[in-house]
Amino acid sequence: KARPAASKGVFLRKLAISSTMGAGARVEIATLTA
């Protein structure tokens, strides 16, 4: 309980952005190699 709820929201947002970027990169690579 040392961390405030705000930091948790920022962490989740970063995780979502990184996961979507990773998925986008994977799609681009698949399109280029296809």
State how many domains the chain has.
1
Per-residue pLDDT at 30: 78
Task: Answer positive or negative: Cα dihedral of 6, 12, 15, 17.
Answer: negative
Per-residue pLDDT at 34: 64
Per-residue pLDDT at 32: 78
pTM of structure: 0.38
Reported as a single tens digit per residue, the pLDDT across 1-33 is: 666 667 777 877 777 777 777 777 777 777 877
Domain of 22 in residue numbering reads as 1-33
Query: Where is pLDDT greater, at 13 or 34?
Result: 13
What would the DSSP string read from start to end of 1-34?
--S-HHHHHHHHHHHHHHHHHHHHHHHHHHHHH-
